[in-house]
Amino acid sequence: MTKQRETWNSHWGMIAAMIGTAIGLGNIWRFPYLCGKYGGATFLIPYIILLFGVAIFAMMCEWVLGRHTKREPLGAFDKIKFPFGRDIGAWGIVGPFFLYSYYIVITSWVLFFVFASFEGLYFGKNTETFFASFLGSKWIFLAHFAAVCITSGILAMGVQKGIERACKIMIPTLFVLLIVVVIRSVTLPGANEGIEFYMRPRWGGLLNIETWVAALGQVFFTLSLGMGAMLLYGSYMKDEWGIPMNAISVTLGNTSASILAGFAIFPAAFALGFGAVIGGAKSIGLTFFVLPKVFEVMPGGHFFGGIFFILLAFGAISSAISIQEPAIAWLKAEVGWSRKEAALFTGIILWIMGLPFLLNGFVKGGLGAKLALLSKMDIIIGQLAIPIFGILAIIAVGYFMGDRGFDEMNKNARVKLSHTWIKFWIKAIVPIFVAILFILTLLKILQENGVIPAIILPAKEIGFTPIGITPMTVFMIIFVCVVFWGGFIYTTAKVLTIEKDKKARVKRGLAHSR
């Protein structure tokens, strides 16, 4: 007898879990780094265009595939008779293991910096040297073990009692803590320069193809697309919840965290003399060796540093949960293990898989040498493998499910999508964008390793001259506030109200039938 599949207990819990799946290091570490590298709003504009033009539809496709089949990635592709479905779906089980193996290592760094901030361990020290020494110390093993135990423990408690309950607490808290840091950052003397850098587009940068490639890659990474997690979480969705509005709510909620992270980092960095680091080769270390220095010279730095790394830990753990969950779901459905047994087994395997990245921190050399193995794995998984799985999920819905897929997308949706244009967009436009991302990324990697001659020109440094808050900057601030923060509040309230109205109508119907 087949066990009844777990579902989300509440609509808000589902939204919080979906946002928690997407929000993590990609928002609070990777997004500001890319914004700095490609010129603030010069990166933000392509990001927004690709977010609404590509990513939101890719997310809906993964949800459709999951909810329609009520299966984990391996079973989902097989059920719709996708060619080599079980082999392709297996990537949604195995792939996240490789991603998690180094993602949880970064999560362990965050956990350590929570402690280091409140204790002031890096205060008065060279923060880059401090970070490098941590990577080669016994503390990295303890932090890594703690990170694996936390995620596995939450997952052992189940969808409703574990994932949903944790995200309902962590995600609102993350936003509250992030807002606290933003308020501290933007009120520092000289913060205007950072706001101007972050929100004023340098239009020439929009012609740089690498900016668009980086933006599309970040969209997939930050929304946890192509990892099997969104597909699996979609299988936990109840049929009465409409997909389009919920996808908009989750997308806006995720990007709201990214926008807030930028407002937390850039104003403080410029106000405290680190503006020259933004956009340069060292900007990739903003979170782990530049930002701690910012907290050191910031009034109340112990407190605000600890707060920042706590919220980063919340985001990292919520994403790590979603990466480990597909394997647990498969072991439950296909092997017959209990959730606790599956969580313990996958936790042990993932802890072992993370050891090579920990041991790499003990090699001789600078920070680059200690992070070399992790960087290579991120390129292989994050930039190449994830887009492949993402485009296959889109093709599965567009070409193999056909009308079944588009009917599932519109099931019980208050705002229904026209079959004519949504078919064209999902079957043609979205796969083309994702294919372009994959091809250009592959060419860029081959170029950087000397396999092929220069094809993609390297990104040019985006010049920035502080000229005060300009009208364009004010417009961009208002735009992101209205579209992302206002849009998230509105759409989330809307979908929850729709759900409440449906329940009220059902109750009235039952009362009349009596």
* Model confidence pLDDT, tens digit, residues 92-139: 677 777 888 888 898 999 999 999 999 989 998 888 889 889 999 999
Per-residue H/E/C for 100-159: HHHHHHHHHHHHHHHHHHHHCCCCCCCHHHHHHHHHCCCHHHHHHHHHHHHHHHHHHCCH
**The model's pTM:** 0.82
State yes or no: pLDDT of 359 exceeds 90.
yes
When pLDDT is averaged across residues 285-294 and rounded to a whole number, the result is: 81
| Distance set, CA 220 to CA 42, 174, 247, 255, 319 (Å) | 19, 21, 14, 12, 13
Please state, for a pLDDT cut of 90, what percent of the chain lies above it.
Answer: 12
Please list, in sequence order, all residues whose beta carbon lies within 8 angstroms of the beta carbon of residue 262, skipping any fewer than 6 positions away: 31, 32, 35, 40, 198
When pLDDT is averaged across residues 186-191 and rounded to a whole number, the result is: 88
State yes or no: pLDDT of 330 exceeds 50.
yes
Mean pLDDT computed over every residue of the chain? 80
What's the pLDDT score for residue 2?
44
pLDDT in tens, 9-64: 666 666 666 666 667 788 888 888 888 888 888 899 999 999 999 889 988 998 89
Q: pLDDT confidence of 311, banded at 50, 70, 90?
A: confident
State yes or no: pLDDT of 146 exceeds 90.
yes
When pLDDT is averaged across residues 310-339 and rounded to a whole number, the result is: 80
Domains and CATH numbers, the chain: 11-502 (1.20.1740)
- What would the DSSP string read from start to end of 30-47? IHHHHHHHTTTHHHHHHH
What's the pLDDT score for residue 399?
87
What's the pLDDT score for residue 355?
93
pLDDT in tens, 370-397: 888 887 787 777 667 777 777 888 888 8
DSSP character at residue 236: T
Higher pLDDT, 224 or 134: 134
State yes or no: pLDDT of 430 exceeds 70.
yes
At 336, the amino acid letter reads G
- Phi then psi for residue 101, to 5 deg, are -60, -35
What's the pLDDT score for residue 16?
67
Terminal CA-CA length for the chain: 34
| Weakest-pLDDT range from 201-210, 223-232, 332-341, 449-458 | 449-458
Tokens standing for 102? 């180094």
Angstrom distance (rounded) from CA 121 to CA 131: 11
Q: What is the dihedral of CA 475, 476, 477, 482, to 10 degrees?
A: 90
When pLDDT is averaged across residues 421-445 and rounded to a whole number, the result is: 82
State yes or no: pLDDT of 1 exceeds 50.
no
CB 347 within 8 A of CB 151: yes
Please list, in sequence order, all residues whose beta carbon lies within 8 angstroms of the beta carbon of residue 440, skipping any fewer than 6 positions away: 209, 213, 456
When pLDDT is averaged across residues 147-155 and rounded to a whole number, the result is: 88
| Weakest-pLDDT range from 21-30, 421-430, 446-455, 475-484 | 446-455
Angstrom distance (rounded) from CA 57 to CA 84: 24
Tokens standing for 276? 């020259």
Angstrom distance (rounded) from CA 224 to CA 230: 7
State yes or no: pLDDT of 356 exceeds 90.
yes
Higher pLDDT, 36 or 204: 36
Q: pLDDT confidence of 282, banded at 50, 70, 90?
A: low
When pLDDT is averaged across residues 68-80 and rounded to a whole number, the result is: 83
Q: Which of 255, 254, 261, 257 is nearest to 186 (CA)?
A: 261
